[in-house]
Structure 1
Amino acid sequence: MVRATLTRGSTWLRAGFGLGVLLLAAQVVMSFAVTQAWADRHPILDGGLQDGVYLLAAALVAARAALIREDRGAWLLMSTGLFAYAAGTVYWVALFSRMDHPPFPSPADALWLAYYPFALAAVLRLLWVRQRRLSAAAWLDGLIAAACAAAFASVIFLTGFAGSTGSRWSAVISVAFPVADIVLAGLLLGAWALSGWRTERVWMLLLTGMGINSAANGIHAFQTAVGMSLPGGWADLLWSVALAVIVVAAWQRPQPATERRPASAVVGAVLPAVLACASLLLLLGDWRSVGALPQVSGLLAALAIAGAIVRMLLTVRVVEALADARHQARTDDLTELPNRRSFLEAVDHSLDPGPVAPALAVAIIDLDRFKDINDSFGHRVGDRLLQLVAERLAEAVGSVGTLARLGGDEFGVLLPGVDAEQAQQITTGFLTVLRRPFHLGQIGLHVDASIGVAACPAHGVDSSTLMRHADSAMYQAKDHQSGVALATGGPDDDSGRQRLTTLEELRAGLDRGELTLHYQPQMLIAEGVVAGVEALVRWNHPSRGLVYPDGFLPLAEHAGLMGRLTTQVLEMALAQCRAWNDDGLALTVAVNLSASNLQDCDLPGYVADALLRHGVPAHSLHLEVTEEILIRDAARTTEILAELRRMGIRLAVDDYGTGYSSLAYLQALPVDDLKLDRAFVTHCDTDPRSAAIVKSTVELAHNLGMRMIAEGVESEAGLDRLRQWDCDLAQGYHVSRPQAPQQLTTWLRQQASDVAHTDDHTTVATS
């Protein structure tokens, strides 16, 4: 912005700025020459040149404030202070420069003093813009720097100061000048500390220029006190240099906020210590040659030292906090084991590049069915189990390797100096250790695990490759229930990546509404009419097409997505049920629930709200659960199912006969229907064993006051056998395949028409 402003500015402005800098430089050179050889120069020439330099400096700073928006307020304040100082100088030169005993105080003194509040305000304005949030350490640094600078300044300005023997106002003015310089000196160094010891050019030049000005004032005060003050001396030279530096600071290109960086941590720690040491030397110095150390100087030095002590204590606490944070960032809170970050760092460290790849193995341990434990017994029990598993694994690993908790129920083991076969033997021992029962109060649990092993260099030479192959091997062990699986390094090891990819695509698919439902009719066998449908979810994948439940439901259950998925299925099923009812097709709709759904105490309330929103009566919704789910946590499941049933919703046990069937559970659970698995129904017309199971299950259901639904009906012969055994409902390809809503609506209308035609024909034949 500044460069653009200067480029667009007129030629006279650039020439004027250049001329002003040259004049300031000329004044510096002239002052130096006078200091060396021209002490008796003409006072009018000396005063006129001095007036011109002061006015020019103020005008150049004011021009910068007028032409450039950034930091405008600070430079307006600075230019105002410089104009006040220049006005005081002009007044003094015009009226008092030729007097042997000029009056004191005078209006010139008031104008000179007016410079200080404006200069202080300019510094504070720049500091506020650049550093609005200050830490405790920054405040302490500012206190140390300000107190130290003020202490040394007070020595310069107050040593030998005897005050004024004149009027009260002369005494006030005599004190005001050294006090103002002491405050300014303290503020300058304190502001630099508060800015984070930043080395921004604008900031450094301004502080340098104002610091030189204060130093010149100190020299002038000292010379005046000892009777050595002469026109054109070193004080005049330093005043001119200070003005030149302030003007150059004003016209620097402002540094963007993104480029403003505090000094390094080393500098930030060293400078306060140096200032504290300087303050200590000031207190311990021998002042007998110049008189006693001013009391104010001693107090300021002591304040700087006290601030440094507090700063040191704060630094120690910060260092401890950083160390603790570093430890926490690499430690798992629950088990106190190293976490994933620490584990990966350990693997990377063990794989440091060298002429030969090191021998080591990485194992990933995943607990089987841990989510079921969490769902059944609560997270408190699950967390305690993880702690016990961690303790047992740590004992088993010992000094052989490094154990870490990677997240959830997943642990990692780094085994240096072993090959793949040795790693497989070691990790098999981990399984033996884990299979001993864990006792958690009144609960005894057995834990199984799946372990994947990858070795360097056989399966990779970097941490990401080894972890990916170990993760894939772990999934292979889980799929094949083999306990331990060794990575192959081939295409099969991409299965883990494919799972993760599918899972992320499923998350996105749920957000985009990619789920769709197909419906399979359920026929009342005795009447031969369709009474309801079962909603079967499909995933309309953008590139893979229609994906069936086996391709994504296990992943969704494992990743905790079944709540969202079931919600979407319920919404779609109830909306379709409402549409069919409005269209004259009175149908019930059955929706499957998962294990995680039955652990959600909010499920009944959500279902009630959904029924109300869609205007579907409760008896039109059937909910199906597997018997395996019921057995995992029967108490909680029974409570939720009972609440759903009290609402008027019909409940069914799905896939009956494939799990751990128990008559005791059937007697206690609030269910209305049994749905016999297709494995028994499909061959009931040809296989005597299947026929016996189906027939006895129908009788069992009826004796328990339940309806029997047979799925997997594939033939008319099978349907006839079910009719003979008084089975209630049939579902299968012989009745109808699952269909999309539009196609099924057409099919349902055709079925209703056929039934009506058959009824009419029967009535005519009878009459």
Structure 2
Amino acid sequence: MASVRVAPARGPIWLRAGFVLGGLLLIAQLVAIMPVARAWMDRHATVNDALQDAIYLLAALLVAARGVRVRRDRGAWLLMAGGLTCYAAGTVYWVAFVAVLDPQPYPSAADAMWLAYYPFAYAALLRLLRARRSRISAATSLDGLIAAACAAALASVMFLSGFTFGGSALPAAVSLAYPIADIVLAGLLLGVWAISGWRTEPVWLLLLAGMGLNTTANGIHMFETTHGSYIPGGWPEVLWSVALAVIVAAAWTMPRPATARPPGRAVVGVALPAVLACAAMGLLLYGSWRDHVLPRASSLLAAAAITATIVRMLLTVRAVEGLADARRQARTDDLTGLPNRRLFQETLDRDLRRRDPAEPMAVAIVDLDRFKEINDSFGHHLGDRLLQLVANRLAEAFGNAGLLTRLGGDEFGLLLPGAGVDRAVEVVTGLLTALRHPFDLERVTLHVDASIGLAVFPDHGTDRSTLLRHADNAMYTAKSDHSGLGLASGGADDEDNGRRRLTTLEELRTGLDQGELVLHYQPQLDLATGLVSGVEALVRWNHPTRGLVYPDGFLSLAEHAGLMGRITTQVLDLAVEQCRAWRAAGLDLTVAVNLSTSNLHDPGLPEHVAALLARHGVPPCALHLEVTEEVLMRDAARATETLARLRALGIRLAVDDYGTGYSSLAYLHALPVDDLKLDRAFVAHCDTDPRSAAIVKSTVELAHNLNMRLIAEGVENEVVLDRLRGWDCDLVQGYHLSRPQAPDRLTPWLLQRQADALASAGGQLRNR
């Protein structure tokens, strides 16, 4: 209670004077019951009566002042002040008009005023509870019921034991009203405390203590009156006065700001319900041993408390089960049912803390090869089904060797406690063998391979981050050399691989800031006119020390790091700027730029492209944008919306690498595209492979039937070019025409090509 802060310590002087007067009156009350002062007080009964009246009235005034002056919980304290005022008025009325009569009437108006205190007290408690708990759960309600029923049962033993219902109706009803009111108040006090969450802040504890003392004093008074031992001015009067002082202190105690649940409150919240349930059980057992010793109401209330306790226990069991289930779900992968990354990390950390340095443990990372291609080609549904089958097969092959988890995507994690290098390699090799058997998926048979990186404690690290870094580097090594299994070296080479990837990524970020990206352009020939009508922009990174870095050296890293948006923005700006330069030089060319998945998911892309064209003064028809089927299949709805907005600007759109996607035909009728760009895998062999030739020829016809142009890439020789010309292909590009070149080298070639075409056209006109 050292943290209690009472506001009147700095309040107005009349308020401080009231508190000082209250303290003096309370001291006088305590002195009055001492044997030395008792005889004098008996001879001067009016002094004792005046002392009682003053204490009751002053308490009511101080609580009312709290309700008027302080806004917080104003309604509750005004209700409490109303109840105390009724109580004080009843005391004053009794002293002034009833105590002097002989015989004293019962009941009197004083009884009505005293009983009026209880409804006000009930309402004040409920108002305070509502301010602190706006929503009450079923479990909390049961806590309140247990506490209320048990408190009421114990109170009823005090108030109802020996009570007899006799005499005329009104006196008997009033006599019964007092114990019932106190029983209800006792139950409400403890019930409200339970529902409030067993709050232990000073305001709440003081109020409960004050009202509890008042109820206890009433019980003592009733007991003494029933047994004929009550003496005015005795201990009940002192307890009443102390109770009023504690209620006043509660009213003026300013609450502290809300903080985390203190440890004391947590202990109270666990211990008290158990104690109350045991007390209720004790009452029933006591009543069963001694017949008719307990009032029937006490037994019924105790039984209600125990029943509520049983129901509460059932709810607690369900809550614990739900918590365990939620914990399990939080550590379980939804798709495969395997433990997830969180459990993998927690288990690895725990094992590393407990592990003897002399006892090995292996950590492995499994990454499926070409899963992205499978997922994009056959759709996410089959991709997810494949992951489930892979998880089942891994679990079957792994058995009880350790912990198998899905880390995310197509990546799985393995923990092998007690396994050294040899044992770990044996287990992992078995997994690779199991995965290489074909998977049957909805009339499609797929062969899946994997790359596994292996690191062993303590050789390759003694903490989670080091072990996982080495395992990850080993996995990348296995993937790059197609060996399937990579073992961490723990040396400089292993560290260098991971460091090289991180360094490349950081250098790429710097390069984007410093404008190190450059474009090379590959011409596209219009077979109908024989003119170069456009070019495709291909990005290169002009690294300050490594020289020209091609896309396969940095684009995959950029995609994983979320840098594709920045790269495409710079590529678009460079391409449109170069297009303007060529047009200024008399070259009427279109420029094609590839878009990535992140670009199509950017709702601001169409506005950005429109602003870019306007800034450089290039017409929209001069810009062609290409998207791969892989990009379209990831989120067709959003991609279609973005493409439609771009096409509305007048920009021509093409599907790049056409023919590599499983659902190509399903998208064509809905996509707002103008061109199909046939993948080089079909074009390059159409002069020697009849199947490739059939695919190219039928795709040209398909494109024309859909009012689209067909662009063939990968033209490597004149024979292929002649065949494409014979099949009415629209545009071609490839090394046979020109390799991708920088603008300063390509521009002279383009100008010469244009001059030759014009000269040839002029000669033909003259010959006519």
Same fold by TM-score greater than 0.5: yes
Structure 1 counterpart of 2:729: 706
| 1:597 aligned onto 2:632 | yes
Distance in 2 between the 1:417 and 1:152 partners?
Answer: 60
Structure 1 counterpart of 2:62: 60
Q: What is the CA distance between 1:447 and its match in structure 2?
A: 0.9
Q: What is the CA distance between 1:178 and its match in structure 2?
A: 1.8
Q: Conserved in 1, the CA contact under 8 Å of 2:86 and 2:114?
A: yes
Q: What is the CA distance between 1:184 and its match in structure 2?
A: 0.5
Which amino acid letter does the alignment assign opposite residue 631 of structure 2?
A: S
Distance in 1 between the 2:743 and 2:157 partners?
Answer: 106
Q: Conserved in 2, the CA contact under 8 Å of 1:520 and 1:533?
A: yes
Deviations 1:351-378 (A, max 9, x none): 1257735421200001112233333333
Deviations 1:19-50 (A, max 9, x none): 42343244234335589877835321111111
Correspondence list, 1:178-193, <5 A? 178-193=179-194
Q: Conserved in 1, the CA contact under 8 Å of 2:531 and 2:754?
A: no
Which amino acid letter does the alignment assign opposite residue 215 of structure 1?
A: T
Secondary structure, aligned partner of 1:626: strand
Structure 1 counterpart of 2:588: none
Structure 2 counterpart of 1:673: 710
Relative to structure 1, the CA distance from residue 639 to residue 391 in structure 2 (aligned partners, 3 Å threshold; closer, same or farther) is closer
Distance in 1 between the 2:612 and 2:633 partners?
Answer: 23
Q: Conserved in 2, the CA contact under 8 Å of 1:57 and 1:82?
A: yes
Distance in 2 between the 1:586 and 1:288 partners?
Answer: 100
Correspondence list, 1:285-364, <5 A? 285-286=286-287, 293-352=294-353, 356=357, 358-364=359-365
The partner residue of 1:563 within 597, 605, 613 is: 597
The partner residue of 1:626 within 657, 680, 689 is: 657
Structure 2 counterpart of 1:226: 227
Relative to structure 1, the CA distance from residue 182 to residue 385 in structure 2 (aligned partners, 3 Å threshold; closer, same or farther) is same
The partner residue of 1:640 within 667, 673, 686 is: 667
Deviations 1:221-256 (A, max 9, x none): 222223222202221121122112222222323122
Which amino acid letter does the alignment assign opposite residue 144 of structure 1?
A: I
Which amino acid letter does the alignment assign opposite residue 464 of structure 1?
A: S
Q: Conserved in 1, the CA contact under 8 Å of 2:525 and 2:731?
A: no
Deviates more, 1:555-564 or 1:183-192: 555-564
RMSD: 4.4
| 1:148 aligned onto 2:150 | yes
Structure 2 counterpart of 1:242: 243
Number of matched residues? 716
Q: What is the CA distance between 1:421 and its match in structure 2?
A: 5.2
Q: Conserved in 1, the CA contact under 8 Å of 2:118 and 2:185?
A: yes
Which amino acid letter does the alignment assign opposite residue 364 of structure 1?
A: I
Secondary structure, aligned partner of 2:42: coil
Report % sequence identity: 52
Secondary structure, aligned partner of 2:282: helix
Deviates more, 1:333-342 or 1:279-288: 279-288
Which amino acid letter does the alignment assign opposite residue 699 of structure 1?
A: D
Secondary structure, aligned partner of 1:351: helix
Structure 2 counterpart of 1:89: 91
Deviations 1:418-463 (A, max 9, x none): 3345534432332122111122342221111111112222221111
Structure 2 counterpart of 1:404: 405
Structure 1 counterpart of 2:741: 733
Structure 1 counterpart of 2:674: 649
Relative to structure 1, the CA distance from residue 525 to residue 438 in structure 2 (aligned partners, 3 Å threshold; closer, same or farther) is closer
Q: What is the CA distance between 1:3 and its match in structure 2?
A: 5.9
Which amino acid letter does the alignment assign opposite residue 649 of structure 1?
A: D
Which amino acid letter does the alignment assign opposite residue 486 of structure 2?
A: A
Secondary structure, aligned partner of 2:367: strand
Distance in 1 between the 2:726 and 2:297 partners?
Answer: 102
Distance in 1 between the 2:318 and 2:639 partners?
Answer: 52
Structure 2 counterpart of 1:382: 383
Q: What is the CA distance between 1:210 and its match in structure 2?
A: 0.6
Q: What is the CA distance between 1:269 and its match in structure 2?
A: 4.0
Which amino acid letter does the alignment assign opposite residue 733 of structure 1?
A: Q
Distance in 2 between the 1:458 and 1:704 partners?
Answer: 63
Distance in 1 between the 2:620 and 2:215 partners?
Answer: 96
Distance in 2 between the 1:364 and 1:442 partners?
Answer: 30
Q: Conserved in 1, the CA contact under 8 Å of 2:332 and 2:339?
A: yes
Q: What is the CA distance between 1:626 and its match in structure 2?
A: 2.2
Q: What is the CA distance between 1:188 and its match in structure 2?
A: 0.4
Structure 2 counterpart of 1:477: 478
Deviates more, 1:453-462 or 1:552-561: 552-561
| 1:123 aligned onto 2:131 | no
Which amino acid letter does the alignment assign opposite residue 237 of structure 1?
A: V
Deviations 1:502-523 (A, max 9, x none): 999999999x9x9999684746
Relative to structure 1, the CA distance from residue 247 to residue 7 in structure 2 (aligned partners, 3 Å threshold; closer, same or farther) is closer
Which amino acid letter does the alignment assign opposite residue 51 of structure 1?
A: D
Relative to structure 1, the CA distance from residue 711 to residue 753 in structure 2 (aligned partners, 3 Å threshold; closer, same or farther) is closer
Deviations 1:710-735 (A, max 9, x none): 3347xxxxxxxx5xxxxxxx674287
Relative to structure 1, the CA distance from residue 325 to residue 599 in structure 2 (aligned partners, 3 Å threshold; closer, same or farther) is closer
| 1:609 aligned onto 2:647 | no
| 1:214 aligned onto 2:251 | no
Which amino acid letter does the alignment assign opposite residue 181 of structure 1?
A: D
Q: What is the CA distance between 1:187 and its match in structure 2?
A: 0.1
Relative to structure 1, the CA distance from residue 659 to residue 754 in structure 2 (aligned partners, 3 Å threshold; closer, same or farther) is closer
Secondary structure, aligned partner of 2:100: coil
Distance in 2 between the 1:424 and 1:124 partners?
Answer: 68
The partner residue of 1:695 within 712, 718, 722 is: 718
Relative to structure 1, the CA distance from residue 411 to residue 13 in structure 2 (aligned partners, 3 Å threshold; closer, same or farther) is same
- Any unmatched runs of 5+ in structure 1? 682-693, 714-721, 723-729, 739-743
Structure 1 counterpart of 2:433: 432
Q: TM-score, normalised by structure 2?
A: 0.81
Which amino acid letter does the alignment assign opposite residue 718 of structure 2?
A: K
Which amino acid letter does the alignment assign opposite residue 666 of structure 2?
A: E
Q: Conserved in 2, the CA contact under 8 Å of 1:533 and 1:590?
A: no
Distance in 2 between the 1:262 and 1:130 partners?
Answer: 19
Secondary structure, aligned partner of 1:258: coil
- Any unmatched runs of 5+ in structure 2? 565-595, 687-691, 704-708
Q: Conserved in 2, the CA contact under 8 Å of 1:92 and 1:108?
A: yes
Distance in 1 between the 2:552 and 2:291 partners?
Answer: 95
Q: Conserved in 2, the CA contact under 8 Å of 1:70 and 1:254?
A: no
Relative to structure 1, the CA distance from residue 750 to residue 625 in structure 2 (aligned partners, 3 Å threshold; closer, same or farther) is closer
Q: Conserved in 2, the CA contact under 8 Å of 1:515 and 1:539?
A: yes
Q: What is the CA distance between 1:754 and its match in structure 2?
A: 7.8
Distance in 1 between the 2:385 and 2:194 partners?
Answer: 50
Deviates more, 1:100-109 or 1:214-223: 100-109
Which amino acid letter does the alignment assign opposite residue 62 of structure 2?
A: L
Relative to structure 1, the CA distance from residue 231 to residue 498 in structure 2 (aligned partners, 3 Å threshold; closer, same or farther) is farther
Secondary structure, aligned partner of 1:451: strand
Distance in 2 between the 1:358 and 1:660 partners?
Answer: 57
Q: Conserved in 1, the CA contact under 8 Å of 2:56 and 2:87?
A: yes
Secondary structure, aligned partner of 1:460: coil
Relative to structure 1, the CA distance from residue 295 to residue 364 in structure 2 (aligned partners, 3 Å threshold; closer, same or farther) is same
